[in-house]
Structure 1
Amino acid sequence: MELWMIGGKASLLFYVVAATCFLSGPGSAWDIFACLLYLILNVAMLLFPRRSLSAALLLLSSSLIVLCAARLSPEYALLLPPNLLELAELRTRAEEAKTHAPLKLALPLLLALVPLPFLPKELMPLYAFAAALSLLLFFGLRAERNKLSRMEHARDRMKADLERLTRALGENEAYRRQSEYTSKLEERNRLSQRIHDEIGHSMAGALIQMEASRRLLESDRAKSAELLGNAIAISKEGLERIRLALKDIKPKAEELGIHRLRLYADELSARLGSSVATTVTHQGDLDAITPLQWKIIQENATEALTNALKYSGATVVGIEVNVLNRFVQSIVSDNGVGAAKVVKGLGIAGMEERAASVGGTVVVDGTRGFRVTTLLPREGG
């Protein structure tokens, strides 16, 4: 858009040169010098765009125009509107935070019309046309600059959001890996404990009976055979238990996500005593819930319970986890006072952001107590 303003000034300069140097007879050396000096000052403004220097060059250029209009030819006044408008633009940009919108519109218009009463009557229509053309270009340039500024602000916000989401995705990926590692440790510990409690004792009993059978082999062959048969039966039973343990090596979902929710609810009840009763229920195939979804459900439930106990005055709080056909639904509800209009604070915004990170949503209802519903899409659903 700056090119349009430059083009407008060049058109006005071309007309002034034609009017002073050709149409009204050959121009003087002062006319040529004035036009060249005006051209040099405007080119310098393009080469040195710093605000303070641009303002000084604009003042020099405007002073030159006024001097030439007074001493050489009134047509030089046609070059004044673009300079006055650019001065107004520099001032409004310097005091943008303090300047009101009506003043931003009125100041350029007033400045452009200031020289009008001092011009010859035959030049007034031409000056008004030059001022109108300059105003049109000026406001177009301002609108384009404001649009670019808004786009830059939007880009900065999007960049900040992208960085925040990238960090959140990295944290979610780290949590997923940690959850998988924790799950493996739990599987290992559970398997180790099961082998020790069930299979270890069986193997120890089989070894004792085989040792007794070996000692009775010479003196009481019948008893020795009986003990050996018992040892074989115990060993077979131990091998079957090993097979069942390996088959059932993966822990159930209840032992992971839903168990943590129950633990949190139990801790809450223990901390508050008998004043608040908490329940945790579930429906559907909990194995379909991923570790990351469990993390979001746990954090949103914690936030919702905190808000319910802090503001609603509830005596009963319930947590439901339902696995539907296409969604995983988590509901935290209470029997408190609720609210006709729910104001979204940082807590609700955080819940919405966590759910949105995996394509989900959060619905908050305060008509009959507080009810916070988290909906997360099932993987592959």
Structure 2
Amino acid sequence: MTRPIQINNHPFRFLLYLEWILLAISVITSVLPHPSPRFASRFPELAILNLTIFGLMGLRLPTSNNLVKIIYTACGISLIFITGLFGGRADRLFPFLYIILVIRSCLIFQLPGRLSVTFVSFTLFLTTLLYRIPRYPLPPQAQEKFRFFTLSLALVFGLSLVFVLILMNTVLSERESREKLAIANEKLRQYALRIENQATLEERNRIAREIHDSLGHSLTALNLQLETALKLYQANPDKAQSFLARAKELGSKALQDVRQSVSTMRSNPLQDKSLAQAIDILAEDFQRSNNILLNRQINLEYSLSTEVNTAIYRIIQESLTNISKHARATEVNLEIIINRGSLYITIQDNGRGFDLEQNTTGFGLQSMRDRALSLGGKFTINSAFGCGCQITVDIPLGRLIS
């Protein structure tokens, strides 16, 4: 429900002060005596009471219920009309009271209501003006002057009401535009804040993926090397020594990845190498660390952007990491081809497989799925116990060409 317009929330407080000044002048005019009985107040107490009530009504303007608005306006019109008929010298200011009434109507009504109040005010002004016409006959010249004066006064008052109405509509429209602009700015600020929070969340997820894919891969391989060295330490110290040396290399690489993540929050695995070259290095490292045969077929006819190459490299790296950790495979087939406007990546192993309904929510698989979806592609995984695992990524070619 809309709050009533009061002193503390009045949109144009200077108008309220103007009302008080005009009403005070009207009250003083009614109280002061006049030597001519023609201009003396017939009922000064009634005029003062009406003006006081009319002034107090301006301290609280209804804005919610239409019936209350109509009753409020009708009461104001009645008070002004009575003051104009019986106010004596105070009735000289009653046109200004109608102007105050029109200003109040602009604050509480929409345009149809404002026009109605303006029309009623002008009609009542003419009625009061005709009521004050002398009842005794006047000379022709005096009648002509009186008619001219009456017509001029009515025209000036009508133009004054129209001017006040247009002015108030303009001011209120400008104020409404400012309020809408402020609301739009606030919504925009909240939207920007949500976008910032979303971007921060996505950046955190990206950093988590980068750490998981780079550092996690190196530490996993390092752990395998150390486990193998511990098993061979008593039986074959020389071979265990070679695994320890490889573990040291992996530890150095992991430390380098950490330094790069801290400095740039993103480790670029390609480092000015092509995607095929980076995959060859990854494949050789995978075979040497895990003693698993990796057959690869890479057929790239187009130049891809660095972001796309990095995403493809990370998908392959995460797949090989999962195979080395869980699959117990002896052979892996990697295929990257472009066919029918799409780039296809297929990674298949001959390991033990797993149940898709229970093991597809890990961070590694989710990371690969997110990377594929970020490129507008599809991520598919097929596996079963004893049948190995096959990962397929289908990415539209239009999103990849640099």
Q: TM-score, normalised by structure 1?
A: 0.48
> Is the helix fraction higher in 1 or 2?
1
